[in-house]
Chains A and B, each alone.
Chain A
Amino acid sequence: MMLTAAEVDAVRLSLSIALRSVLFSLPLAILVAWLLTRRRLHGRLLLDAFVHLPLVLPPVVVGYVLLLLFGMRGPIGSWLYAHFGIQLVFTSAGAALATAVMSFPLMVRAIRISLEGVDAGLEDAARTLGAGAWDRFFSVTLPLMLPGILAGAVTAFSAGLGEFGAVITFVSNIPGETRTLPLALYTALQTPGGDAVAARLAIISFSLGLLGLIAAEFIARRVRRVLGR
C-alpha cells in the first residue's frame, strides 16, 4: 500500500506532534509526580485535581481554554508573540501543546505509581554515601522510576496520536500544519465519496497503534531485565 502525499503528511504530523508533546510534558510530569509523592505540600489536593482535569473535561473545553489563554489576544499568547515571536494558534506547536495538556494526567499517573514504588530508604542510603539532593535524584530515584517514565511516555505518545477535540478547537484543521491522522480522517468523512480515503487512514492509525504497543512492551522488558526484576 503506497501512501499518498496527504497521508504521509498526516502521519508525519501526528508522529511529530505526539513526540513534541511528550518531550515538552515529560520533565514537568516528573516534577509534578515528585511533588505529589515526596513532598507534604499545602494545596496538594488542589494540584492533584488540577492535573487530572483534562481527564474529566470535554476536550473541546480544554481547547477553548487554551484558545483563551494562548490565543493571539490571550494573556500568555500575546506575551509569547511580543517577546519571542512565538505563535501557537493554528500551528503544529500549538497542536503539540493541546496534545500535551490532554495526555498530561496519564503521564503523571504512570510516573507517580513508579515513584511510589521506589523505596525512600534507598535515597537515605544514598545520602549516607555522600550524595546530595540532585545527585540522589539522578543516580538513584530516576533510574529506578525509569519503567514508569517510559510507560507514561509511551501511553502519552499513543494517546497523543489520536488527540482530536482539543487540537481542532485550539489550532483548527490546516493541511500540512495541524491536520493530523484523526483530523484527516474526520475531514475525509465530511467529504462526499471520501470513504475509501477514510478507510485507508483508519488502517494506518490501526497499524501505528499496534506498532506502538509492541514497542512499549519490548522496551518495558528490556528495562526490567536491566533493573534485575
Chain B
Amino acid sequence: MFSIRAKKRRDGFVLDVAIEVSSPGVVALFGRSGCGKTTLVNIVAGLLPADEAHIVIDGMALDKDGKALLAEHRRIGYVFQDARLFPHLDVMGNLRYGEKRSKPHLDTPRITLDKVAPLLGLEPLLSRRVHQLSGGERQRVALGRALLTSPRLLILDEPLASLDAARREEVLPYLEKLRDELAIPMIYVSHQFEEVLRLATHVVLMEHGKVVSQGSLDDVSLHPELRAIVGSEAVGAVVHGVVESVDSSTGLASVRIGSNLLQINLRAARAGAHIRAQLLARDIILATSRPDNLSVRNIMTGTIARIVPDEEDAELVYVDIGGASILSRVTRAATISLGLRVGLPVWALVKSVSIRGHAFVEGSPR
C-alpha cells in the first residue's frame, strides 16, 4: 500500500525511519510526545522538507528525479489536531475548498459530498459558521474537508487530542466507520493507546525518532518497549477473536480466542463478529493448578513462553494460550513461590469486567 523512508536532523534530534505497510487500513503511529511522529507525517505530507525521503503510495513515488513533490500536488489528506478550518468560510465553504481544487483521477473513485455528509453526520452543519461548531464537530468537518479531495492517503495527527473525553467518544465511532467503509489508507498519529486499540490495523511504535517495532497490534502489544511508552499499568496483550454467542440476559459474549473461550462484557456484539480486546497484564492472575469456586468467569489454559523482569520487583510472564499470547504481571515473590518457569503449564484467570473489548466489522483486516 505504501512505504516511507525518511531522515531528518534538526537541533540534535534525529529522525530516521522506514515503514512498510502492505494492506489498507489504519496505521497507528504510536509513541510519546516528542518522539517525532508529527515531524514524520509533516514530511510525508510535504509540509516539512526532509534531509532524505522516499515515499511511495500505491506504487507512485512522491519524488521525481530527486525532487520532492510539492504538498499541494501530493493528494494526501491531512486532519490537524486543531482542525484548522478557515474562519472566513462557512462549513460548506470549507468542505468545498479542497474538492474544488482536486482533479478527478481515473485510479481512484471520487469521494462526493453525498457520500461524506451522511458518513460524518455533516448534514445539519452545512450552513453553520465555523465559530458556531463544537470541538468534535470541527474535527468532523475537517475530516470531511480532507476526504472530499479524494486523497490517496489520509493523515490524522492526533485528531482527538484537543477534545475532552465526551467529545472524543463522539468522534471515535465516525473514525471507525471511515476505516470500515472507505478504502483509503490512513496514518493515525496518537499517544493514546485506547485510540490505537480501537482504530489501528497496523501499529508503528516510535521512540526518539526511530521505529522500535511495527506490525499487527497483537505483536506490538507484546513488545517490551511498549511499557516505557504507555506505563506499566497499561501494558497488556491485545487479542483477536470471533463471537460465538451472546447471552442477552447477562450481556456477556462468548469469544473464541485461540483455543480458549472468553466471556467478555459486550452487549453490542452479535454472533460471528470479530472483536479485539486488550487483556491488561495487571489483571491476569496465574495459577499452577486448576482453581475452583471463583467468581472469575475466564480461566484459560496455556504454557509459559517467556519471563522478563519488569520494574519494582515484578516480572512479566508471557503465556501461550494456543494461537495467542497474553501477558501477566506478577511479583518476583510469586514467581519464586509458584516456581514459574518457561514451559510450565498454567491457568490464567481474568475477570470479564476488566476486559476492554471492541467490535470490529466482520472481515476487517487484522
Binding site for B on A (CB under 8 A): 119, 121-122, 124-132, 135, 139-140, 143-144, 226-229
Contacts and interface: CB of A to CB of B under 8 A. Distances in A.
A62 to B, nearest CB: 37
B47 A140 contact: no
B290 interface: no
A228 B47 contact: no
A178 B169 CA distance: 69
Contacts of A226: 88
A127 B86 contact: no
B305 to A, nearest CB: 45
Contacts of A139: 97
B47 A128 contact: yes
A128 B76 contact: yes
Nearest to A223: B88
A221 B167 CA distance: 33
Contact of B97 (A119, A124, A126, A228): A126
Contacts of A144: 87-88
Contacts of A135: 101
Contacts of A132: 70, 72
Contact of B77 (A128, A131, A140, A229): A128
A130 B72 contact: yes
A113 B145 CA distance: 29
A99 to B, nearest CB: 31
A124 B71 CA distance: 9
Contacts of B257: none
A127 B70 CA distance: 9
13 contacts: A121-B84, A122-B86, A124-B80, A126-B86, A128-B76, A128-B78, A130-B73, A132-B70, A135-B101, A139-B97, A144-B87, A229-B87, A229-B131
Contacts of A228: 87-88, 129-131
Interface string B76-99: 111010101011100000000110
Instruction: Tell which of A119, A128, A226, A229 has the most Cβ of chain B within 10 Å.
Output: A128
Contacts of B139: none
Nearest to A143: B88
Contacts of A124: 47, 71, 80, 84
A128 B87 contact: no
Instruction: Tell which of B72, B74, B80, B131 has the most Cβ of chain A within 10 Å.
Output: B72
B80 A121 contact: yes
B131 A122 contact: no
Contacts of B145: 129
Contact of A128 (B129, B130, B146): B146
B88 A128 contact: no
A127 B71 contact: yes
A176 to B, nearest CB: 44
Contacts of B146: 128-129
B236 to A, nearest CB: 36
B84 A130 contact: no
A180 B126 CA distance: 52
B232 interface: no
A130 B98 contact: yes
Contact of A127 (B72, B87, B129): B72
A228 B145 CA distance: 20
Contacts of B72: 127-132
B298 interface: no
A226 B87 CA distance: 9
Nearest to B142: A125
Nearest to A144: B88
Contacts of B77: 128
B128 to A, nearest CB: 10
A127 B84 contact: no
A130 B78 contact: no
A226 B77 CA distance: 28
Contact of B71 (A119, A121, A128, A227): A128
